[in-house]
A and B are shown apart, each in its own frame.
Chain A
Amino acid sequence: MTLFDTTILNTSGLTPDSRLAAATSSRANIFNMSQAAEQAVLRPEDCGAFGHDLRAALAARVAYHAGEHALADHYATAAGDKVALADPGAYDSGLGHVLTFVDKTANQTRDVAAEDISGLQAAGVSDADVVRLCELVAFLAYQVRVIAGLRLMQGTAG
């Protein structure tokens, strides 16, 4: 994968011919490590309770909420039969506690409290899976903001 094929640069529309190519190339290590982080968070070897398809659906859901539709589409294609959960309005009775936590952590971060974690634990989510879920949502918060910022820099936002 070349630098400009990484999800962040590709989704924000940057190419080797872009005016910002020099600035982004000087931080190539950061964009390559960001791609490694996507791999670790979306497609880990040890998935815990959340398989690759569900992770992709949740990532798409967070990206749609943030208004990053190209990124959301990128993840939705990997969501398999979980793709319905990519719709921010979708609900699944078996995963309600997970969806509620993902939506709140992504979008009302400041309001997350101890009860949100104890609620997941009471629903049977292990401590390791709580951390995995946080990393997924937290990485997406980073990725959508870098993409949004790069699009603004190029004057192609909106």
Chain B
Amino acid sequence: MSRVLHKFTRNVPGWRPRVTPVKLDEATPEQLTALQVTPSNTKVSDYVLTLAHDVESLAVRSPLFNAIMYDPGGMSRAERELGALAASMVNRCIYCAAVHADRHAQLEKDTTVTDELFAKGENADLTARDRAIFDFARKSAEAPPAAGPADMDALRNAGLSDAEILDLILSAALFGWANRLMHVLGDPVRKETGA
């Protein structure tokens, strides 16, 4: 048995699709090609097999995702993860929040920031720089987007360059996309270990 999670956690859960994923042995040549450009080549997840239903979108989204999150230069990887996490918390994508809180903690070799965020949400005790980054990404993720000139000023006052701010806009916006797939098309689940 497995149960659906409703609370934020850094312990990455499983993901159970709400639609039937594409079966790998029934995939078209186009689907097989798109499945190979995902970050994990060794095992194709149910999530990616679900997205393979729209193979044209999957084929362009995977390299775009990797470029926004991992291309060198601009904002640090950990700070891009903070942008991703802020959006995932607004949209309550438990799975995305777990993955990107965990990556943030690993990159920083420190769980303090993500512990604070999961315990206190937008009232977390953060450095001025993390505060500016988190608030901008959080407000950008609202619908309609609610970040304003004061939030942009806060980023500049915290010392962010144009290149860093651009990467933050992109990483937070990317999770507006990812959350609407992961949170909408499936449930975050944890296997019951039994008594």
Q: Which residues of A are in contact with B by a Cβ distance under 8 Å?
A: 19-20, 22-24, 26-27, 29-30, 33-34, 36-37, 39-41, 44-46, 48, 65-67, 105-110, 112, 114, 116-118, 121, 127-128, 130-132, 134-135, 137-139, 141-146, 148-150, 152-153, 155, 157-158
* Contact for A118 among B18, B53, B67, B147, CB less than 8 A: B18
Q: Which residues of B are in contact with A by a Cβ distance under 8 Å?
A: 18-20, 50-51, 53-57, 59-61, 63-64, 67-68, 71, 73-74, 90-93, 140-141, 143-145, 147-149, 151-152, 162-163, 165-167, 169-170, 172-174, 176-181, 183-185, 187
Chain B: CB-nearest residue to A144? B145
Say whether, besides A36-B60, A155-B149, A131 and B173 are in contact (CB < 8 Å): no
* Contact for A152 among B20, B55, B141, B148, CB less than 8 A: B148
CB of A131 within 8 A of CB of B169, answer: no
Chain B facing A: main interface SS = helix
Q: Which residues from B are CB-within-8-Å of A112? A: 183-184
> Closest CB-CB distance, A48 to chain B, in whole Å?
8
C-alpha gap A65/B142 in the complex (Å) = 12
Say whether, besides A110-B91, A152-B147, A142 and B140 are in contact (CB < 8 Å): no
